[in-house]
C-alpha cells in the first residue's frame, strides 16, 4: 500500500460555528511524508497536525501556533482520516473550520470531488501493541490491540431523548460514510444561550446542530438516526485520533468520552514507543486495509 493525497485542490465556503462569519476552506495536495498541515491564510501561519499543537479541548479540538489558533477541526479531520489520506494542506482564512451542517458529510463530498491520488512512498500504519486507557471518574477512553479497526462508544445523558446509547462501528470507509458521516453535533438550549452570552456559538443554528430543550428536540426535521448522538461521538473520536499522525489498527472504546480525553489518550499512546509499532507497508499488500479504505 502507498501513501495518498488528493488529485486536485478543492474548496468550499461555510459559516464558522463560534464567530458566525463566512470561512473559506481550501484543501490542497501535499508531497509524501508531509502529513496534515493547516495554514491560516489571513495571518500566514502554518500549524502541523500534531498533539503538541493542541491548545484547547473544551468545546472542540483547537490547534494553535505563535498565538494563532484554528478551532473545530475534528469534523473535517474525521472525513480525511476515514478516507485514509496521509498528506494534505488545509487552508482557512479565519480561526475556525466551517461547521457546514454539523456533520462530516460535506467534507466527504468535497473529498469525493477532489479524488484520491496514490503516491510513491509506502503507507505508514500504527499497530496498537498494548492497552492504553485514560480515565476520569466514570468516564474513560481506551485503545487495545486488534488486527482491524473498531470504534465502540457509549454515552449517558439524563435527557429523555438521549439517555443511554451505544454504537459499535466496524470501520471501513464505506461504513463510515453510511453510518457515521451524516451524524450531526448536538447541544442543549441552555448551553447555546450561555455560549452566546460569551460571544461564542454565534453561527450555531438548527441548520448545523441538533438542539434540545429540557424535554425534546427542537429541530423540525427530527433525527437522521435514532441514535444520532452516539454516532456523532464516534465521528468526533475518529477526527480526534487523527492527531497521532497516521491510520492505526486497534480497538477504540469509550464511555462518555470527550475531545479532552481523546487528546490525553493520543499523548498517553505516543509517550511510550512500547505502546505501538509503526509499520511501513513496503511493496506489500494488506487486504484488510485495502478493503477498509477502498
Query: Which residue among the candidates 18, 232, 259, 263 is catalytic per the annotation?
Result: 259
Q: Is residue 21 within 8 Å of 73, Cβ to Cβ?
A: no
> What's the grid cell of residue 103?
456533520
> What's the grid cell of residue 211?
438542539
Is the four-CA dihedral 178, 22, 94, 111 of positive or negative sign?
positive
Q: Distance between alpha carbon 112 and the CA centroid of its chain, in Å?
A: 17
Whether 68 is catalytic is no
Q: Is residue 189 within 8 Å of 213, Cβ to Cβ?
A: yes
Catalytic residue numbers read: 259
Amino acid at each position: 500500500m502507498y501513501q495518498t493525497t488528493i488529485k486536485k485542490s478543492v474548496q468550499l465556503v461555510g459559516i464558522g460555528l463560534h464567530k458566525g462569519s463566512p470561512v473559506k476552506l481550501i484543501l490542497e495536495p501535499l508531497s509524501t511524508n508531509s502529513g496534515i498541515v493547516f495554514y491560516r491564510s489571513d495571518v500566514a501561519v502554518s500549524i502541523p497536525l500534531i498533539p503538541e499543537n493542541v491548545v484547547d479541548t473544551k468545546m472542540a479540538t483547537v490547534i494553535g501556533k505563535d498565538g494563532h489558533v484554528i478551532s473545530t477541526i475534528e469534523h473535517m479531520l474525521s472525513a480525511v482520516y476515514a478516507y485514509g489520506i496521509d498528506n494534505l494542506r488545509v487552508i482557512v482564512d479565519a480561526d475556525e473550520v466551517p461547521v457546514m451542517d454539523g456533520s462530516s458529510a460535506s467534507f466527504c463530498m468535497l473529498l469525493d470531488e477532489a479524488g484520491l491520488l496514490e503516491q510513491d512512498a509506502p503507507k505508514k500504519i500504527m499497530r496498537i501493541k498494548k492497552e492504553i486507557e485514560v480515565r476520569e471518574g466514570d468516564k474513560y477512553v481506551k485503545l487495545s490491540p486488534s488486527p482491524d479497526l473498531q470504534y465502540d462508544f457509549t454515552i449517558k445523558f439524563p435527557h429523555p431523548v438521549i439517555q443511554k446509547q451505544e454504537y459499535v462501528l466496524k470501520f471501513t470507509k464505506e461504513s463510515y460514510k453510511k453510518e457515521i458521516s451524516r451524524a450531526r453535533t448536538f447541544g442543549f438550549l441552555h448551553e447555546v444561550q450561555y455560549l452566546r452570552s460569551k460571544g461564542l456559538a454565534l453561527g450555531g443554528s438548527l441548520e448545523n446542530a441538533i438542539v434540545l430543550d429540557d424535554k425534546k428536540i427542537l429541530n423540525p426535521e427530527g433525527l437522521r438516526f435514532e441514535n444520532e448522538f452516539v454516532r456523532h461521538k464516534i465521528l468526533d473520536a475518529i477526527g480526534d485520533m487523527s492527531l497521532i499522525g497516521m491510520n492505526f489498527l486497534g480497538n477504540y472504546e469509550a464511555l462518555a468520552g470527550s475531545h479532552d480525553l481523546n487528546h490525553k489518550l493520543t499523548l498517553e499512546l505516543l509517550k511510550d514507543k512500547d505502546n505501538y509499532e509503526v509499520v511501513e507497508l513496503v511493496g506489500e499488500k494488506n487486504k484488510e486495509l485495502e478493503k477498509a479504505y477502498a
